[in-house]
Structure 1
């Protein structure tokens, strides 16, 4: 049985408050004892004991004010020969000053406390005892301030690293969403645009072919709507969406069939073990989808060949065509090839795209897994 989230959130705060309250009680009782030892029941000594100990309970809320009260009260107790230890309450308050405040404020606080301590010890203790006591307290104050300051620096660095990591994760997620939207929309709109052009061109003379084109448009549109609803559901859900199966090797025949309807015959060959991790299967599907879309968009009429070879450790995807159309390479005006390259790079694979040896265009991606 796990603790409620609100309780988990407040546990560190409650622990910190408990430590401060315990320190305040211990310091107050200690100095009440010192008053009894040194002067007996003296009302002003009791007041000093409470001023030295009680403020420590709220040092996290008002660190500088608490430090000032404790330093003044403890040095007054030194002048009255009540202090019989090495300024532990002052050190306890000084640590949080160094942690909570920037150095331009905590350093003067350290210096003022050190000067007040030196003056109080010099007045209350004979030479050379005062010199040794002052050096000891100064050393402890300096060490405490240094420990607090390094803690502050470490926390600032951790916060900065966490912010940079969050920003990097946000950027990666935006790129992932952009890739998914591009692959879904570009492929579908290309098919729709091609078929709409055919339907418009032959509507009067060949109404049967026009109706076939409209059926392709309808089928493609419905499939695109399903994918878009799924993607939007993932983005809108705050409690983890119900994920439908992601596209993979088993969805490639339908993709090839739609490309054929758009006027680009595609031959598909898959060799090796059919099982792939979902992420790798999606990457392969998107690479084939974008490559075939580019053929339809830039090279039609053309023939296209898709070859997928799956081994125990990697999958090799090769898409080539015999068209003469120009393509938009990564770094140019398009995003398709750049998106494919990014997908492959996520798995530490290799990606190549360019003119084929016998004309046309060729895309090769090697994606390791396992």
Structure 2
């Protein structure tokens, strides 16, 4: 047995309130059953005797019990209601023309069986119940079409409960899928952020370390400057990593997310690595935070690829801000691929460590796709490389 959620009409009520509603329904069913049992059988009825008043009251009280406990013990309530209604009909305690009382009780109980009892036992209860009640009602009345009508109504009550149970299960499954998709999207977002942070800053450190190695003997002052830059970049990288990983903890204080205002710092870091960078941002800089983060990460990854693979001396960054969209273009004067011949497309390249490269390009495409854009990355006819895209959002 499983406990199902309340229907749309009762949603928001506590379990105690639902049981209180059943208690009210049980009182109504008991009164209705007592009135039905108090009726005198018709002269044409197959049963001519009439029970004492206290028996009628007892039958009415017993009819209310299954309704009162239908949420607590649905199977027990169903079997009790079936047995009691069949007995009342066969003995004539409730005349056939007053059969509305047991029908209401059975309908309420079978509805709960449909919503709260697993399929196998639920089907067994309704089939046995309809068979037993069909025989009892048929023996108590000569109007077989009335018997069929009552049994059809009881079947509808059970079917309605079953349909609601299936709808709830589907809603729960859909909610679980939505949650899983949200978790996957969040994992991908964190993975992209970590990749962007590590890839860019480590590229700057690697370039400065290479420069320091070449000028160690000839220009010691520049060597110390390179070491200071490496130390600063390392500390900034650790701080950004702590902020990204801190997002995984609910209690963490998350650092401000990067945006358009941080592009100047990004350019400064690239210039310190020996790359001449020209940044131009046109238009109103007031854009949604999520768009600003995407712009920063796309530019960051494009500049990182220039530092790692392009053998370029100059990089041009253009960001055009318009109502509802942002156009980004990053170009350089380097080669279409690094010295070792590895392609810069990231589709089939292999990095120095032997692992599949191109995660940065994949991350950029995912970010761009979130804003309805497409990423264009490839060599320019005049030489160098070009990365361009357009991010769209609600203005």
TM-score by length of 2: 0.83
Whole-angstrom distance in 1 between the partners of 2:385 and 2:93: 91
Structure 1, unaligned runs of 5 or more: 1-8
- Which residue does the alignment assign to 2:297? 286
1:346 to 366, 370, 393: 370
Q: Contact 2:328 / 2:389 at 8 angstroms: preserved in 1?
A: yes
Whole-angstrom distance in 2 between the partners of 1:119 and 1:331: 73
- Which residue does the alignment assign to 1:359? 383
Q: Contact 2:312 / 2:333 at 8 angstroms: preserved in 1?
A: no
Whole-angstrom distance in 2 between the partners of 1:39 and 1:132: 27
Find the residue that maps to 1:266 and give its secondary structure. strand
Whole-angstrom distance in 2 between the partners of 1:47 and 1:331: 81
Mapping of 1:141-180 within 5 angstroms? 141-180=154-193
Q: How far off is 1:30 after superposition? A: 2.6
Whole-angstrom distance in 1 between the partners of 2:199 and 2:188: 16
Q: How far off is 1:77 after superposition? A: 1.2
The alignment status of 1:85 with 2:99, answered yes or no, reads yes
Find the residue that maps to 2:136 and give its secondary structure. helix
Q: Contact 2:116 / 2:165 at 8 angstroms: preserved in 1?
A: yes
Find the residue that maps to 2:285 and give its secondary structure. coil
Q: How far off is 1:296 after superposition? A: 0.8
RMSD: 2.2
Q: How far off is 1:350 after superposition? A: 2.6
Structure 2, unaligned runs of 5 or more: 1-10, 40-49, 349-355
Mapping of 1:1-370 within 5 angstroms? 11-37=13-39, 38-43=50-55, 46-83=57-94, 84-86=98-100, 87-125=103-141, 127=142, 129=143, 131-237=144-250, 243-324=254-335, 325=338, 326-332=342-348, 333=356, 334-369=358-393, 370=395
Find the residue that maps to 2:367 and give its secondary structure. helix
Between 87-96 and 29-38, report the one with greater CA deviation. Answer: 29-38
1:212/1:287 CA distance change after superposition, 3 Å: same
Between 167-176 and 77-86, report the one with greater CA deviation. Answer: 77-86
Find the residue that maps to 1:164 and give its secondary structure. helix
Whole-angstrom distance in 1 between the partners of 2:93 and 2:25: 19
Find the residue that maps to 1:358 and give its secondary structure. coil
1:274/1:121 CA distance change after superposition, 3 Å: closer
- Which residue does the alignment assign to 1:5? none
Alignment size in residue pairs? 356
Whole-angstrom distance in 2 between the partners of 1:13 and 1:203: 76
Find the residue that maps to 2:256 and give its secondary structure. coil
Q: Contact 2:312 / 2:332 at 8 angstroms: preserved in 1?
A: no
Q: How far off is 1:10 after superposition? A: 7.3
Whole-angstrom distance in 1 between the partners of 2:125 and 2:61: 22
Q: How far off is 1:205 after superposition? A: 4.0
Q: Contact 1:352 / 1:364 at 8 angstroms: preserved in 2?
A: yes
Q: How far off is 1:184 after superposition? A: 0.9
1:360/1:352 CA distance change after superposition, 3 Å: same
Deviations, residues 195-243 of structure 1 (Å, cap 9, x unaligned): 22333443344322221111111221222222222223322125xx655
TM-score by length of 1: 0.89
Q: Contact 1:344 / 1:366 at 8 angstroms: preserved in 2?
A: yes
Q: How far off is 1:336 after superposition? A: 0.6
Deviations, residues 1-53 of structure 1 (Å, cap 9, x unaligned): xxxxxxxx97342332222222222222332344444523345x555434322
Find the residue that maps to 2:247 and give its secondary structure. helix
Whole-angstrom distance in 1 between the partners of 2:370 and 2:147: 61
Q: Contact 1:259 / 1:266 at 8 angstroms: preserved in 2?
A: yes
